Structure 1
Amino acid sequence: MTQPTLILVHGAFATSFSFAPLQAELAFHGVRSAAVDLLGHGFAATFPHGYQAPQDLAQFISAPGSIRGVSLDDNVQALAEAAARAKDNGPVIILAHSRGGAALTALANARPELIDHMVYVSAWAPVALPAAEYNGEPEMAEVDNAALGQALAGDPGELGLLRCNFRQADTGVLEGLKDLFCADVGDDEFRIFLNSLQPDENLDAGGPEHRAQAENWGTIARTFVRLGEDRSIPITMQDRLIREGDALTPDNPYRVRTLASSHVGWLIRPTEAAVQLAQITAEVSGELS
């Protein structure tokens, strides 16, 4: 049996670079992986001159961004092209983190034949609601997004995108972002992570038509890796997404694993995550052989 390719899909404001430490660990376990950039991410992102230090905030908040107008369907098409290339060389496992789960879910609806297994790591797998609408649900009530709101820069309506100033020095904002995303790592590790983010993200997180559909998404075997210390997508919301997916296709439920990690701590310190992903890859390979 040909070894599967594990395609890694990043979350909001992140890039394929986020997976570099994890990919090194996966390679040590003999796992073949490919991290991809969604449209307008990575080297296709916009980094306005005003984002550099000393910052020119007026220029930063007004500069056009390449991600303007990028839709979830655009991202699905790009992800489908990557999956098709990998499929030419064997089975495909797609792992999505955070907002990347919306793209994976939509791809599974549109092109289920490209995916042999899905892995959601504290990722949006919308069933009952469009992905963004879960933010208004009771499970998200205690999420403190104040620092993220303070980091927002410019008018999303005018820019046609979300823009955040992750390079600011406001201590309160930085402490709030660390608490939200990776309270379980050191301050230097947090700042390195923060500086790996890009300032722009697209506005389209998907609509009702992008929710999981039993007749296609529901036919693909899937795993949900819960992040037990996640304050961005709390464990109660992760468990709700699992329950909704299982109710949609009770004959094909999630396989569930748990990591003791914050939202991005598993990417910063990836040793245990790599062990579990290597196990998942081996299981999938055995089932397909």
Structure 2
Amino acid sequence: MSRRLKTAFAAVLVALTGAIAAQPANATATHGAKPTIVLVHGAWADASSWSGVIARLRSDGYPVLAPANPLRGLASDAAYLDNLLATVDGPVVLVGHSYGGAVITNAAGADPDVKALVYVSAIIPDEGESVFGLATKYEGSEIGDNTITTVPLASGDADVYVKTENFADIFAADLPRSTSALLAVTQRPVTYGALTEPSGKPAWKTIPSWALISRDDHVIPLQAQRFMTARAKSHTVEVSASHAALISKPGAVTQVIETAARSTN
């Protein structure tokens, strides 16, 4: 190599080194990275209900978290989710099913990394509204005194279960009976207080949202879902599914989530 060429090569190397050093330490790692999808389950379910969705998202290269929603109180559940989100680096798409929709509505506003909200057969409250109030705003919900069982708690609150004999028809009518029977037995209760607690400032007023509406939902009636998604100005898709659309229609749910995720780029 000639002396002139060596000098030119050295100058280029110095320039490149300086440019790399000027970049943030994580610039290369985060450039073009897909957002983390955080999936929040609702009442009478657990994180395993997202299994079909998780498999599809991971196959498409998305990092995924599906935490256990405590189901103890709306404000406390949102605070728990806030603490989890603080451990996630980079942009986040926050997804909520059923009662989980109320939780993400209350949690997302505290984290600037949340770039999109996705509601799946979900409650989407405004400030001061309750989950139970919205679910029963229109006719069609089959959640009531004759279909639930309550277990008193030492705190003075009560755990609410859907009766096992009613679970399939109310929650998962489009799933095989053997599957819905298993879901009924393993359901996680939500407290009565969580269902009646007034919601806080809604994140959907400042963060764009997407929604999947279940037309055959017997927990949150179709009219209620349409009302809430229209008010939130959500990009909406409707499917023929029960309240358990995340289990019975994982492909459709994944498609809505990935559409929201692509908007964050």
Q: Please give the root-mean-square deviation of Cα atoms over the aligned residues, in Å.
A: 2.6
Counterparts of 2:74 and 2:93, CA distance in 1: 20
Q: Deviations over 1:195-241 (max 9, x none)?
A: 331245462246445152xxx54121111111122121121111110
Aligned: 1:160 with 2:157: yes
Deviation of 1:150 after TM superposition, in Å, equals: 4.0
Q: Which runs of 5+ in 2 are unaligned?
A: 1-31
Q: In the alignment, residue 206 of structure 2 is paired with which amino acid?
A: T
Q: 2:170 aligns with which of 161, 175, 180?
A: 180
Letter in 2 for 1:85: T
Distance 1:79 1:206, change over 3 A: farther
Indicate the structure (1 or 2) with the bigger Cα radius of gyration: 2
Calculate the TM-score normalised by the size of structure 2.
0.77
User: Where in structure 2 are the equivalents of 1:85-234 lying within 5 Å?
Assistant: 85-86=87-88, 88=89, 90-109=90-109, 111-127=110-126, 130-131=129-130, 132-137=132-137, 139=138, 141-146=139-144, 149-155=146-152, 160-164=157-161, 174=165, 176-199=166-189, 201=191, 203-205=193-195, 207-208=197-198, 210-212=200-202, 217-234=204-221
Q: What is the rounded CA distance, in whole Å, between the counterparts of 1:152 and 1:232 in structure 2?
A: 15
Distance across 2 between alignment mates of 1:4 and 1:126 = 25
Would you say the 8 A contact 1:127–1:244 is kept in 2? no
Cα 1:202/1:229, change in 2 over 3 Å: same
Aligned length: 233
TM-score, with structure 1 as normaliser: 0.71
Give distance in 2, aligned partners of 1:200 and 1:129. Answer: 19
* 2:57–2:64 contact (8 Å) kept in structure 1: yes
Structure 1 residue runs of 4 or more that deviate by more than 6 Å after TM superposition: none
Deviation at 1:103, TM superposition (A): 1.1
**Which runs of 5 or more residues in structure 1 are unaligned?**
41-69, 167-172, 246-252
Cα displacement (A) at 1:159: 5.2
User: Does 2:239 correspond to 1:259?
Assistant: yes
The DSSP-based 3-state class of the residue aligned with 2:230 is: helix
2:79 paired with 1:77: yes
Cα contact 1:17–1:196 (8 A) shared by 2: no
Equivalent pairs: percent with the same residue?
21
2:263 alignment partner AA: V
